[in-house]
């Protein structure tokens, strides 16, 4: 058994948890976050692409499902080579999504109904159409060193890129610029040149971007691709080392052909996060109100990720994304493995910090497709009942699935730079398809005549309107569990997780003077009878069902005995102790 105590603000140990006051919790520590991919959420003008007015119109839905804050994938001016992650102007709204007035209206309505808006901040690179890059290529004195430039090397009389580094999107990380007569670095697309953070002016410019949006009402930022922001320091001659070969990959154009020891997770990336947190604290003092936050996207070793939280002298990101589950859980994973990856994060997390849980985003196949549609309620229940904050990707609450898209119709640049044999492994289009609101044409996403990506064929059965009317639909189960998160045991209580056997994972949430809750997840196809008294102490003889799914023959309010709880295949239930 692993006993894990949730820490909020101060270390309180295993005793005295019930003395924590709700006022000591910061808003984000037990928040329900919701990621919106703006192109696909709601189209207000009929052009087949989602926009800010569409998001504003659907804010009441977010309130309905208990969202505390929503983070928006990039909405800034962009040529859309990577659908917004190639930013040409960091302080403008792209016309695809609307205007600055539309953004201000979104902020105002969100504030009125109690939802915070988090923006996606892309620090690693800009678009090659950004004014900064154009000036840098022209060797403007102010911007000459804003990006990473190199003359290359001469081999047998031929100029070549300075290193063997491979881009995330395949091919060399270096592209020759005819005007400047040098190569520039791009860890992603050639149209996404990397900024040079070894130039302090770059860091100051990006801090100003933070200030700009915070003053316009943003509650914080999701910081994209943090591990890529620094490369190794060049030597005295300005040269970089080649990266070592990864023998398990045979395609020389593939990103994983080399081990990226010199282009990711450099020590300076942590300091950059600390500096950005200082800007947030500066703006908290200037603007007042509730604390503004940073959510960092970093795929890195666990010990590195824990540094993102901060240390004794520096505050870091409040929410370094926890990718333990999304990266490691497979369709055949058993309860012991779930328990291992959950506790891996909790046991490494610094004292005083809050956990977070992620199983879906715009870059990964939907968990319903990865793990099975019969595990949708299991995964949503898991995310919403573990300690800390939950992060839901839009559509996962209703059970949306990946949509197969042919090579001819693929538009994701990560896939388009590959080939018909490899693209399905690389494409992110299937997880970015339009949100399914109802059973009208195009699932109610648009009133137009087309959509930027196809709507799923299952939209008549999987949509918000239909699921609202079904008691045990994925949507209504999600809402019931989310409402349960407001209970003191979930807000401020302790947590025990345990694999009761290979198939059943159990989570106990408890707080002195409050009912104890047992979350039981049967991951596989066996009927299971579990003895909770043998697994956990302090339970009452009888337990009450408070949340059930359509897998269970029981109903809310029914009773069961703690020593013989019956679970059907792929069942997910929540029980509580009774006085």
Report DSSP state, residue 58. Answer: T
Rounded to an integer, what distance in angstroms lies between the CA atom of residue 5 and that of residue 494? 5
Set 43, 51, 86, 224: catalytic member: 224
Q: Which residues lie below 8 Å from residue 338, measured CB to CB, with a gap of 6+?
A: 325, 329, 382, 499, 505, 521, 523
CB neighbours (10 Å) of residue 234?
14
Report DSSP state, residue 434. Answer: P
Measured CA distances, 403 to 84, 232, 408, 471 (Å): 21, 39, 14, 26
SS3 content of the chain, % helix, strand, coil (to 5): 30, 20, 50
Rounded to an integer, what distance in angstroms lies between the CA atom of residue 47 and that of residue 44? 8
Rounded to an integer, what distance in angstroms lies between the CA atom of residue 208 and that of residue 459? 43
Rounded to an integer, what distance in angstroms lies between the CA atom of residue 12 and that of residue 352? 9
Rounded to an integer, what distance in angstroms lies between the CA atom of residue 51 and that of residue 95? 9
* Pairing relationship of beta strands 76-77 and 559-561 according to DSSP bridges: unpaired
Q: Which residues lie below 8 Å from residue 408, measured CB to CB, with a gap of 6+?
A: none
* Pairing relationship of beta strands 319-320 and 293-296 according to DSSP bridges: parallel
Beta partners for residue 31, in sequence order: none
Q: Does residue 254 carry a catalytic annotation?
A: no
Which residue is associated with the tokens 């398809």? 433
Helix axes 376-385, 474-484, angle to 10 degrees: 10
Rounded to an integer, what distance in angstroms lies between the CA atom of residue 474 and that of residue 468? 9
| CA 577 to chain centroid | 34
What SS3 class is residue 449?
A: coil
Beta partners for residue 498, in sequence order: 506
Measured CA distances, 413 to 47, 72, 81, 188 (Å): 21, 20, 7, 10
Set 102, 194, 297, 496: catalytic member: 297
Phi and psi angles of residue 225, each rounded to the nearest 5 degrees, phi first = 50, 45
- The pair of three-digit structure tokens given for residue 139, joined into one six-digit string: 């060797």
- Taking a C-beta distance cutoff of 8 angstroms, is the pair 115, 67 a contact? yes
Phi and psi angles of residue 535, each rounded to the nearest 5 degrees, phi first = -95, -35
- Taking a C-beta distance cutoff of 8 angstroms, is the pair 47, 98 a contact? no
Q: How is the beta sheet containing 494-499 ordered, strand by strand?
A: 2-4, 494-499, 504-510, 517-522, 572-577, 542-547, 559-561
Measured CA distances, 410 to 81, 101, 403, 405, 416 (Å): 13, 33, 11, 6, 7
Q: Does residue 224 carry a catalytic annotation?
A: yes
User: Cα angle vertex 116, ends 113, 121, to 5°?
Assistant: 150
- Taking a C-beta distance cutoff of 8 angstroms, is the pair 570, 521 a contact? no
Residues with catalytic annotation? Answer: 224, 297
């Amino acid at each position: 058994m692993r006993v894990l105590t949730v820490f909020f603000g101060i270390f309180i140990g295993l005793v005295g948890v019930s003395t924590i006051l709700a006022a000591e919790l910061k808003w984000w520590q037990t928040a329900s976050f919701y990621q919106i991919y703006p192109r696909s959420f709601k189209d207000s003008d009929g052009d087949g692409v989602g926009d800010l007015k569409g998001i504003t119109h659907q804010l009441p839905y977010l309130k309905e499902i208990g969202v505390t804050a929503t983070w928006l994938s990039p909405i800034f001016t962009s040529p859309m080579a990577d659908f917004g992650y190639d930013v040409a102007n960091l302080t403008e709204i792209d016309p695809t999504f609307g205007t600055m007035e539309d953004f201000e209206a979104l902020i105002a309505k969100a504030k009125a109904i109690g939802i915070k808006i988090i923006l996606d901040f892309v620090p690693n690179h800009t678009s090659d159409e950004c004014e900064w890059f154009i000036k840098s290529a022209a060797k403007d004195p102010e911007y000459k060193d804003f990006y990473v430039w190199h003359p290359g090397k001469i081999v047998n009389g031929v100029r070549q890129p300075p290193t063997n580094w491979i881009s995330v999107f395949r091919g060399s990380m270096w592209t020759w610029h005819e005007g400047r007569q040098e190569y520039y670095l791009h860890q992603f697309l050639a149209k996404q040149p990397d900024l040079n953070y070894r130039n302090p002016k770059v860091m100051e410019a990006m801090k100003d971007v933070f200030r700009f949006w915070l003053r316009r009402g943003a509650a914080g930022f999701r910081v994209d691709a943090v591990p890529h922001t620094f490369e190794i320091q060049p030597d005295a001659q300005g040269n970089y080392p080649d990266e070592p070969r990864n023998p398990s990959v045979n395609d020389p154009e593939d990103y994983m052909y080399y081990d990226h020891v010199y282009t990711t997770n450099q020590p300076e990336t942590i300091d950059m996060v600390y500096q950005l947190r200082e800007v947030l604290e500066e703006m908290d003092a200037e603007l007042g109100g509730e604390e503004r936050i940073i959510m960092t996207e970093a795929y890195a070793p666990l010990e590195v990720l824990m540094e993102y939280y901060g240390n004794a002298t520096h505050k870091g990101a409040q929410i370094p994304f926890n990718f333990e589950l999304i990266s490691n859980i497979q369709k055949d994973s058993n309860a012991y493995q779930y328990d291992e990856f959950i506790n891996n994060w909790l046991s490494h997390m610094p004292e005083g910090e809050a956990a977070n849980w992620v199983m879906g985003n715009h870059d990964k196949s939907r968990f319903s497709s990865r793990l099975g549609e019969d595990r949708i309620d299991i995964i949503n229940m898991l995310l919403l009942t573990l300690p800390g904050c939950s992060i839901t990707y839009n559509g996962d609450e209703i059970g949306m699935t990946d949509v197969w898209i042919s090579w001819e119709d693929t538009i994701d640049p990560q896939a388009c730079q590959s080939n018909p044999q490899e693209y399905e492994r690389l494409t992110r289009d299937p997880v970015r398809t339009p949100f399914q609101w109802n059973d009208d044409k195009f699932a109610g996403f648009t009133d137009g005549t087309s959509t930027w990506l196809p709507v799923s064929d299952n939209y008549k059965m999987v949509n918000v309107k239909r699921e609202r009317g079904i008691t045990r639909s994925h949507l209504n189960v999600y809402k019931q569990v989310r409402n349960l998160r407001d209970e003191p045991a979930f807000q401020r209580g302790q947590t025990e997780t345990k694999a009761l056997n290979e198939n059943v994972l159990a989570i106990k949430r408890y707080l002195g003077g409050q009912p104890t809750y047992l979350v039981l997840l049967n991951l596989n196809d066996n009927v299971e009878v579990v003895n909770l008294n043998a697994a956990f102490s302090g339970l009452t003889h009888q337990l009450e069902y408070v949340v059930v799914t359509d897998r269970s023959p029981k109903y809310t309010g029914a009773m069961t005995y703690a020593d013989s709880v019956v679970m059907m295949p792929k069942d997910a239930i929540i029980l509580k102790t009774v006085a």
